[in-house]
Amino acid sequence: MGFLDYAIFDEIRRMNSRQVIYQFLNFAMIVSSALMIWKGLMVVTGSESPIVVVISGSIAFHRGDLLMLTMDRDDPIRAGDLTAFKIESRDIPIVHRVIKVHEKSGKDDSKFLTKGDDNMVDDRGLYAPGQHWLTPKDVVGRGKGFVPYVGMVTILMNDYPMLTYTVLGLLGLFVLIHRD
Amino acid sequence: MSKIFEKISKIDRNHLIIIAAVLFVISAFVINWCIRKLKGENQDKGAPEPIKVVKWDGPTVKNTLDDCVKKVINENYSTWKERHTLADGRLFLSVIAVGFAAFALVYDYLYPFPLSKMVLATCSISYFVLMFVLQIYQWYVEKTTFYQAAENDGKNPARYWRWSSEMKRYDDKYTLVAEYTQGSRWGSMKLVKSIASYITEDGEVLLSLLKKDVDYLRDQATSKRE
């Protein structure tokens, strides 16, 4: 077991089984805290993805900005709202402004048209073939606030997955072998 | 190689979390087993390996001294049996908290978001409440205790010992406190010494010197009539 003889592993070598279990629980609690904050945010904002990162930017939102989304189905969509919506065959939601709304009697019956602030034309070119309007079902959230630049980390992690695994792996190892 | 990473990023994030959790549990057992084996090998060698520590790393020195005190007591006081009630309490609280988080994860995976809203809310709140309780437990119940034992010599009621220690940041003074309760009687004794009294130039901990002080604390604590 030559590998475990290094000085950095001194503490872990001297731990009894209870302490080892506690080290792993410590690690689990850090992961759980992050998880619970995320799920908590999901409940509070009502949206499936309460925080999203802007990948392709515009004048208002630059690439790497963090966007907070809320989802309130009872609040009617009005022209001027920033909505995040998903087009049927695409995974990535688009956040654009609503420019036209047609409403009938029921709330779920409205149709609306969006356009990116930077674009010259409306989003009809982005919708699925044959789709001319969006319905409330396509909406995943409404933009409520944003934090600039912070999301660059997520973009980097997405583009270079090796970086994610290395960083997380090292962090995990550090938590596991050090007490408190 | 990049094909493998492409595949991994295509796996649903939730799947990844579950796989990671399973690996985590397996590795916990593997590492525990490795440590047992290591300890077993060392005992077979005969001469105990000298305990070395980086003498400038404050927290590690404190933890190492604590471990040495435990070692001295367990190896020399035959009527003392180590108790783990405080540590078990902490483990229990942590396991429950992680349990809530794990339940929320699994439930949300089986019944995706809008359906799981109530469960997620309850689990989230319970988790943070438990974290708070755990913190209170560590501050007020466990405090600086690192060792508990029950001393049973057959004739008198058992004596329950609690040893705690403190060492301030960037300071070399190690405070060791021994307390005991025996029925309605209690006693305690404190000793503050520089770590230089036990650790050599090279960072080796001299157990014989530590043992002298451990014996001293035990004798002083029990000799005071309360």
Report which DSSP code applies to A88: T
Taken in order B183, B187, B216, B223, is the CA torsion positive or negative?
Answer: negative
Query: What pLDDT band is residue A107 in, cutting at 50, 70 and 90?
Result: low
Ramachandran category for residue A143: left, alpha or beta (phi over 0 → left; psi -120 to 50 → alpha): beta
Task: Find where tokens 């057959």 sit.
Answer: B154
Q: Are B24 and A172 in contact (CB under 8 A)?
A: no
pLDDT of A72 above 90:
no
Whether A92 and chain B come into contact, CB under 8 Å, resolves to no
Q: Are B118 and A33 in contact (CB under 8 A)?
A: no
Q: Which of A31-45, A136-150, B135-149 has the lowest mean pLDDT?
A: A136-150
What's the farthest any 2 CA atoms get from each other in chain A? 75
Query: What pLDDT band is residue A129 in, cutting at 50, 70 and 90?
Result: confident
pLDDT at B165: 93
Three-state DSSP string of A158-176: HHCHHHHHHHHHHHHHHHH
Which of the listed ranges A54-63, A128-137, B210-219 does the model predict with the highest average pLDDT? B210-219
Three-state DSSP string of B71-122: HHHHHHCCCEEEECHHHHHHHHHHHHHHHHHHHHHHHHHHCCHHHHHHHHHH
Using a CB-CB cut-off of 8 Å, the residues of chain A touching B98 are: 25, 28-29, 32
Task: Find where tokens 């084996």 sit.
Answer: B37
Whether A169 and chain B come into contact, CB under 8 Å, resolves to no
Query: What pLDDT band is residue A5 in, cutting at 50, 70 and 90?
Result: low
Please tell me which residue of chain A has the smallest CA distance to B84.
A18
> What's the pLDDT tens digit per position in B134-145?
999 999 988 889
- Is this structure's pTM higher than 0.95? no
pLDDT at A58: 75
Active-site hit among A62, A72, A108, A123: A123
CB pairs under 8 A between A and B: 102
Mutating which of B43, B74, B98 best tests the A interface, going by the most A Cβ atoms within 10 A? B98
A58 is catalytic: yes
Say whether A20 and B94 touch across the interface (CB within 8 A): no
pLDDT of A1 above 70:
no
pLDDT of A7 above 70:
no
Using a CB-CB cut-off of 8 Å, the residues of chain B touching A27 are: 24
| H or E, element range at A55 | none
pLDDT at B95: 93
> What's the pLDDT tens digit per position in B47-61?
567 788 888 888 888
Q: What is the mean pLDDT of chain A?
A: 82
Active-site hit among A10, A17, A47, A58: A58
Say whether B31 and A20 touch across the interface (CB within 8 A): yes
A74 is catalytic: no
Using a CB-CB cut-off of 8 Å, the residues of chain B touching A36 are: 100-101, 104, 123-124, 127-128
Distance between CA atoms of residues A38 and A52, nearest Å: 12
Using a CB-CB cut-off of 8 Å, the residues of chain B touching A12 are: 31, 35
Say whether B98 and A179 touch across the interface (CB within 8 A): no
pLDDT at B226: 47
pLDDT at A12: 66
For the question of an ipTM over 0.85, the answer is: no
A123 is catalytic: yes
End-to-end C-alpha distance for chain A, whole angstroms: 26
pLDDT at A150: 84
Using a CB-CB cut-off of 8 Å, the residues of chain A touching B104 are: 35-36, 39
pLDDT at B202: 87
pLDDT of A140 above 60:
yes
Mean pLDDT, chain B cut into blocks of 10 residues (226 residues total)? 54 66 73 70 60 84 89 88 90 93 89 85 93 93 89 82 91 90 88 90 88 90 71
Q: Strands of A51-53's sheet, edge to edge?
A: A51-53, A66-70, A139-147, A82-85, A94-102, A111-115
Report which DSSP code applies to B144: T
C-alpha distance from residue A97 to each of A20, A49, A125, A143, B166 (Å): 53, 18, 15, 10, 59
Distance between CA atoms of residues A116 and A110, nearest Å: 20
Say whether B5 and A162 touch across the interface (CB within 8 A): yes
Say whether B94 and A25 touch across the interface (CB within 8 A): yes
